[in-house]
Amino acid sequence: MDREQFDVVIVGSGPAGIFAALELSRAAGRPRVLVLEKGHALERRRCPGRERGCAGCTVCDIMTGWGGAGAFSDGKLTLTTEVGGWLGDYVGHEELRELLARADEGWVEFGATREVTEPDEPTVRRLEREASNAGMKLVPMRVRHLGTDRSPAVLQAMRAGLERAGVVVRTDAEVTRIVVRDGVATGVELADCTTIQAAAIVAAPGREGADWLAAEARRLGIGLTNNAVDIGVRVEVAAGVMRRLTDPLYEAKLLYISRQFGDKVRTFCMNPSGEVTTESYGGIVTVNGHSFAEERTANTNFAVLVSQTFTEPFDDPITYGESVARLANLLGHGIIVQRLGDLRAGRRSTPARMAASSVKPTLSGATPGDLAFVLPYRHLADVLEFIDALESLAPGVSGPETLLYGVEVKFYSSRVAVDSDLRTAIAGLYAIGDGAGITRGLLQSSASGIVAARGVLAQLGN
């Protein structure tokens, strides 16, 4: 069949697309919904890079497929409006709080743990004071941790629930073009030249599809704004070093303004007793981390990231971040790891020095090397300054055997111009989630799907 007709087509099956479909599937009258995903079904997602390094697959199984890039992530739901994206700029922070609660209920409904790490108030006040004395701001968060081992089962249950409700899901179905006639979105065109017609299109392509969505926005005359790019390292220490923070908080979200340059520096994705991992962006390999619900390692890892925004004459932060990552890949054949003591001494780490270290790397494929040849001086100075400041909260974190992996880059997609319903200037076209530059985390991404679905229902008259 060359042409099919649905009420709504959702492009992408990460949390944003899934939660848009869930919201639509529960509406009165049940509009006919089709979810299209260019990657594989969850059970077919296999990354060869886990064992032998990035193979440059045409479709990356880490970044694409049912569940999106978060399918094999640490699976942390941060129950706060203060982190996770910019959705509050569109719906207001009070509405965002309610949306996050609804999205959280959805995750629990399909099997996420009911356990929430919620620090007690006296501990939070004490740690906030200590952070302030170190020049940092602590953002206390309630955290629901799914774990890398449990997340796939939850996402699979979501797919089964959607299909029971009549939602059609097609994986290995790449959308190449949004069809627009006279300023109105009328459908999508697939790589196999199939055209699918719909009254509403919800673009939720995730981080992997961000470039595609930005190109489509330019083609259709939809406004774009560049977000910052975050570049830094992943720090790995003995778990006991961070326990003073991770036991009460699970994830310590710390914000810092560097004294030397006035840059924003922050922690990201803290994984108590976790593992350092890799992820791929179109052939570029960057470092990441996760932790399991059941298994434990001897180490804790977290990112230290420096945020930079470019305006003129250069205004492409994603290309800048890619260039830094490519340099690391060139020098390290992938990811570089270095002992902090070696970095401060101005020497590279060697296999012999790594073997003698008490902190054993959990990423076996990393190459001992020298991050000073990779990170720009400004970023490196900011990272070292941050680690020194963190020492007062977590004694031992600035010790010589602390491991630094590089580089970690967070590419925040160009933000697509949308209204409070996340609708673009093209009638019937909505843009949501991380790929639209509106969110940068599982829970806000899920919430953005709910917002767009409500807008679609109003458009369809439900």
Domains of the chain (ranges, CATH numbers): 3-112+150-225+415-460 (3.50.50.60), 121-142+228-411 (no CATH)
User: Does residue 6 come out as left (phi exceeding 0), alpha (psi in the -120 to 50 range) or beta?
Assistant: beta
Asked whether residue 54 carries a pLDDT value surpassing 60, the answer given is no
Q: Which of 132-141, 267-276, 296-305, 405-414 has the lowest mean pLDDT?
A: 405-414
Report residue 462's pLDDT band, with 50, 70 and 90 as the boundaries.
Answer: low
Report residue 227's pLDDT band, with 50, 70 and 90 as the boundaries.
Answer: confident
Report residue 129's pLDDT band, with 50, 70 and 90 as the boundaries.
Answer: very high
pLDDT confidence of residue 207: 85
Asked whether residue 269 carries a pLDDT value surpassing 80, the answer given is yes
- The tokens describing 125, both together, are 């006040």
Distance between CA atoms of 34 and 8, rounded to whole angstroms? Answer: 6
Asked whether residue 51 carries a pLDDT value surpassing 60, the answer given is no
Going by C-alpha positions, the residue among 286, 290, 277, 271 that lies closest to residue 231 is: 286
Q: What percentage of the chain carries pLDDT values higher than 90? A: 80
Going by C-alpha positions, the residue among 137, 136, 155 that lies closest to residue 146 is: 155
**Average pLDDT value for residue range 172-187:** 97
> Residues with Cβ < 8 Å from 339, sequence gap 6 or more?
349, 353, 354, 357, 400, 401, 402, 403, 404
Q: Which of 37-51, 197-211, 418-432 has the lowest mean pLDDT?
A: 37-51
**Mean model confidence pLDDT for the chain:** 93
Q: What percentage of the chain carries pLDDT values higher than 70? A: 96
**pLDDT tens by residue, 239-257:** 999 999 999 999 999 999 9
pLDDT confidence of residue 226: 85
Reported as type and span, the H/E element at residue 143 is strand 143-145
pLDDT confidence of residue 411: 79
Going by C-alpha positions, the residue among 228, 246, 277 that lies closest to residue 145 is: 246
> Residues with Cβ < 8 Å from 200, sequence gap 6 or more?
7, 8, 9, 185, 428, 429, 430, 456, 459, 460
C-alpha distance from residue 17 to each of 56, 125, 153, 360, 436 (Å): 26, 38, 17, 39, 12
Which range, 74-88, 258-272, 304-318, is most confident? 258-272
Asked whether residue 412 carries a pLDDT value surpassing 80, the answer given is no
Distance between CA atoms of 221 and 141, rounded to whole angstroms? Answer: 39
What are the helix and strand counts (H, E) for the chain? 13, 21
Asked whether residue 96 carries a pLDDT value surpassing 50, the answer given is yes
Asked whether residue 49 carries a pLDDT value surpassing 60, the answer given is no
Asked whether residue 60 carries a pLDDT value surpassing 80, the answer given is no
- The tokens describing 162, both together, are 């959607």
Long-range contacts of residues 187-192, Cβ cutoff 8 Å, at least 24 apart: 187/9, 188/9, 188/11, 188/36, 190/36, 191/38
**Average pLDDT value for residue range 1-23:** 92
Report residue 1's pLDDT band, with 50, 70 and 90 as the boundaries.
Answer: very low
Going by C-alpha positions, the residue among 444, 453, 454 that lies closest to residue 100 is: 444
Asked whether residue 286 carries a pLDDT value surpassing 50, the answer given is yes
pLDDT confidence of residue 2: 58
Identity of the amino acid at 423: R
**Average pLDDT value for residue range 297-323:** 90
Q: What is the DSSP letter of 166?
A: T
pLDDT confidence of residue 57: 63
Asked whether residue 9 carries a pLDDT value surpassing 80, the answer given is yes
